[in-house]
Structure formats: C-alpha cells, structure tokens
Amino acid sequence: MRNRRQNEYSSDQRPNWRIIASVLPYLSEFRQRVLLALGLLVLAKVATVMVPVTLKWLVDYLDEGRGGELVLMVPIALVLAYGALRFAGTAFQELRDALFARVAERTMRRAALQVFEHLHRLELGFHLMRRTGALARDIERGTSGMAFLLRTLVFNIVPTVIEVALVALILAIAFDIEFVLTVVVAVAVYVVYSLLITEWRTRFVREANELDNRSNTRAVDSMLNYETVKYFNAEAHEARAYDRDLAAWEEARIKHRVSLAMLNIGQAFIVAVAMTVMMAMAAWQVAEGRISLGDLTMINAYLLQLFIPLNNLGFIYREMRESLINIERIFGLLKRSPRVADSEEAHELPPAGGEVRFAAVEFGYQPERPILRGVSFTIPAGRKVALVGPSGAGKSTIARLLFRFYDVDAGRITIAGYDIRTVKQASLRAQLGVVPQDTVLFNDTIRYNIAYGCPEASDEAIWRAVQQAHLDRFIAALPQGLDTVVGERGLKLSGGEKQRVAIARVLLKDPPLLILDEATSSLDSTAERAILATLDEVAASRTTLAIAHRLSTIQDADTILYIEAGEVVEAGRHEELLERNGAYARLWRHQQAQGES
C-alpha cells in the first residue's frame, strides 16, 4: 500500500560522525570571515566571564562600607563596567552571528545547488522511482542541517568548552579545589545524562520525520493527481488516507514532546542539586570568613552562567545527530553515480546531424524483462522513419535510448557515425528535438514554455513558432496572450493546446534531428491536418523519427518499421507494406474499419 512504503532515503543507521569532516570544507570559502567570527566569539566569552568578577568587586566594596572621596566613584565605575561587559558580551555575539550569516547561507545555497545539479545528472530510471515529496523534504532538511551543524560547531560546542574552561580556571585560582571538582562532576553528570536521554529519544524524532515525509509525499501526490481524484470522487478517500498519516505523525510528535519533558526535568534536577551544593559550600565558607559575600555572589553568577549553554546541550546533540543523518542522506544522493555518464574521452557531437543507425540494439529496464531484441534500422540523413506497432512493443524505448536516457545493453546507436556513448550528452541532446505524447509544461507562462526550446530567442522568433504551430488564434483570444500562466503541469490548457505548445517549442529549438512521439495524438482531425502539414515542412530538412499509433499520420514516411515484442518484423513504405498483407496491413485495415464505423 502507498501509505506503508518506507522512505527511500530514510535509514535507521546511527549517525556517521565522520561526516563532519565532509562539511568543514564548506568553511574554506570564507576562511577570514570564520576566523574573525571566532575572534569575536572569544571576546564575547571573555566579556561574559568577567561579568561575575565585576559583580563580586561591587558587592565586596559595598559590603565593606568603605568611606572617603571615592565612596561613590568606585561603585559607579564598577556598575558601568558591569553594564559595559554585559553589553559587550551580547554585542560581540551579535556581530559574530552577522559575520557568520553569509557563511551559513552560502553553505545552504552551495549544497542545494550541488544536489540539484546532481539530480539532473542521474538517469531517468532514478526519477521514475523517486517520490518527489519525500525527496524535497530530505533536500530541505539536509541543506538546513549543514548550516545548523556549522553554526553549532562554531558557536555552541567551541564556546561552551571555552566558557567551562575559563570558569573552572577562575574557580581554581580564586577558591578551594572542591568548587572546581563540584563543577566538573556536575557538568559531567549533566552531559552524560543529556547524551543518554537524547540518544534514547532520537528514534522518536526520526520516526516523526519519516512520518512527516510520508504525509507530505501523499499530499503532493494527491495534488498532482487532482483531476484523477475528481474523476473518481475520491476526495474523502484521499482525506482519510492523509489523516491516517497525520495521526501516525501526531503520535510520534507526542512521544517526542513527552521525552523532551523528561530530558528537561532531569537536567533541571541536576542543575538544582549542583547549585544547592555549591551555594551551601560557599555559604559555609562565608560564615567562617574564608570567602567574602562578593565571592558568594560570583559563584552563584558563574553557576547560572555555566548551565545556560549546557541547558541546550540535549537539544544541540539531538539536532546534530539528526542533521548528520539528513546530511548523510544528501551525501548518499551525491555519491550515487549516474548510470549514464560522459566518459573522460567524450567529445562534442558535430552539429550537422546526419544518419542515425541502430545496430543490433538490445535493452531491458530489468535484466529479466528484455524490451528490445536485436533491433537494427537506419534513418538516412534528412529522411523520415516511422515506428508503429502495438503498445509495449518498445517504440518509446527507442526514443529514450536515442536521447541516451539509458545506455543499451548490447549493440550500438550511432549518429553520423559516432557512437552516442562516446559523445557528450549535452551536445547530443542539443541536436535532438522531441514532441512527446504526454506534454508536461512548467507552471509558468506560455511564452516561457515555448522559449524553453531556445531561451535567447526574440519575440519575433517565438511568435513565428506560435504561428507555425497554429497557436496564434488561441493565444490572441487570451487576455494575457503569451503571458498567460498555464498552471502546474499545464493543467489550464487542453491536451491539444499543450501539444501545440510542445510543437512550437521544438520548432523554436530548430534541431537537426527530430523525434515525434505521437505528436498529434491530442488534436482533432482538422487541427491534426494543419499540424501535420507544418511538421511535414519542418521534417523535410531534418532526420526524423516518428512514433505513431494512427497509421494515417505517417503514410508519407520514407520507411515504416512495424515493431512487435521488441523486434522489427516488417519494414518498407506504406504501399509496400500494404501489398505484403502482413501485420501492418492488418493494423491498417483495422483502423480504417474503426474510422468508418
């Protein structure tokens, strides 16, 4: 069932802490900025640590009740110093964050772009198996996780260590060793407890994330199939299924909240015990006259100051673990090698186009299910070859192989004598244009979708393509004309209108090699005749591969190949195939009879 499938990118593995080494290089682009931010961090911590010392001096001075002309000046100076240090600690922190902001945001940008480019390099098979909602969430979490991890390492872990070390050093210098030992023991117990509880509750966080992915995938899938939902009156079914996923997500979030409460209560107990013990020791020594009232105030201030950053330790550790897992998912995507890749010796395909040859091509999407079995044929330069045959025979697979969405299992495909596996994919696809059977458009304007075939084209060239595709009357009747937004996947346009946009787009690209995959399947007969005349004109000077279901659309082809079960069983011109009275002739008579009826 769809709601029981697990996230393809999820994993229950423990985080790979070594992944940190893979993230740190992202800091290299801003080395000076990072070093300056670290300098501000140290200044902020020094200022923060000096605040209790200033407070101690102020309390001791007032407690001793000193007289003289400095009786007012010294407390005022100490109060001003206290305020200045407070402000300096916060100001240095904010300046540090402002300096590091570009580092964090640039890291997210670079990581997101790297994954985006890599996803476009992956083969079609990966994208046919992916689930868009879950993949989008993983990319979002992974890139955010990288920025969080860098900020945490630089601004949480390092400063906390610095602050604990400074406080321990001051306590060791100013007081007895038992104060230092108490702080060390309290911090150690606090850290161990936080790590153990966070380790236990991380599974609830991961479960909540996985269920969030599942519910988001269902929502995206349902929205993309809006029309199908409406066709079958399935709104209630979709809502129930979505609510089941949300209910599971709700339960996981409740477990997450309850476990967080347990973590916070335990941390508060450890802090309370540590502060009680320290304050009892300090009060006892004040009573004995071994330390001053200012020392007592300083110890109390240090304890409060020390446990504030530690109080976030559980959250930081949990988020770091989750960030590492999310980052590892992104790095897992990046490590996934494209099954179709340019070789190191790949060269540019000369732009003149030329003869297309399939030589004993064998291919299957799975090894146990072959699709093409030794297919061989030639499309002479400037000629038109049509593929016909029953559904599932392998016609569209041939077009995908020509675009090199997949590599052949055996045999070879050549263009102008060059094996397409030896040329760069970009140069290959630059020479190919396709009008697909199922046209999916970007959720943008008609102008944008047509100009996608040639982004630098002028308005005149775009309008010329519009006229050739017989879209001019339709666009002229629209209030916004070419600037009309077509909706997600082009749902605001009819099937025929979308197909004409696809035809205009390929006409604008003006490629030397043309693939027509049921190019007029969504058009009415009148529009089809007009578009076929245009395509015939366009194809006259191009090497063309036409895939057709309606045989009437490819009668003029130089060669017609009848494909069945992945093999070419008949080849010839329309009249020749009719004279042979074979599979093609039977299909022709069948379609003619359907047309008459």
User: Alpha-carbon distance 428 to 201, whole Å?
Assistant: 52
516 or 524, which is more confident: 516
Residue 427 neighbours by CB under 8 Å, 6+ apart: 348, 349, 351
Residue 5: pLDDT band (50, 70, 90) is very low
- pLDDT per residue over 235-292, tens digit each? 888 899 889 888 888 888 888 788 888 888 888 888 888 888 888 888 888 787 777 7
- pLDDT per residue over 283-321, tens digit each? 888 787 777 777 777 777 777 777 776 766 666 776 777
User: Alpha-carbon distance 252 to 260, whole Å?
Assistant: 12
Which strands make up the sheet holding 432-435, listed edge to edge?
A: 432-435, 513-517, 543-547, 384-388, 559-564, 567-572
Average pLDDT over residues 100-124: 77
- pLDDT per residue over 328-358, tens digit each? 777 777 777 778 888 888 899 888 778 999 9
Distances (CA, A) of 349 to 424, 456, 478, 504, 542: 7, 22, 41, 25, 16
User: Alpha-carbon distance 11 to 325, whole Å?
Assistant: 8
Q: Which of 29, 78, 23 is nearest to 56 (CA)?
A: 78
Cβ atoms < 10 Å from Cβ of 446? 27
CATH code for 16-335?
Answer: 1.20.1560.10
Structure tokens at 398: 């041939």
Q: Are strands 410-415 and 356-363 parallel, antiparallel or unpaired?
A: antiparallel
- pLDDT per residue over 452-507, tens digit each? 888 888 989 999 999 888 888 889 998 898 999 888 777 788 877 888 888 898 88
* Cβ atoms 52, 297 nearer than 8 A: yes
Q: CA 242, 243, 249, 252 torsion: positive or negative?
A: negative
Range(s) of the chain covered by CATH 1.20.1560.10: 16-335
pLDDT value of residue 461: 92
Structure tokens at 454: 């040639």
Residues paired with 412 in a beta bridge: 359
Range(s) of the chain covered by CATH 3.40.50.300: 341-431+511-597
Q: Which CATH superfamily is domain 341-431+511-597 in?
A: P-loop containing nucleotide triphosphate hydrolases (3.40.50.300)
Residue 265 CA from chain centroid, whole number:
37
Residue 138 neighbours by CB under 8 Å, 6+ apart: 7, 9, 213, 326, 329, 330, 333
Residue 362: pLDDT band (50, 70, 90) is very high
pLDDT value of residue 114: 79
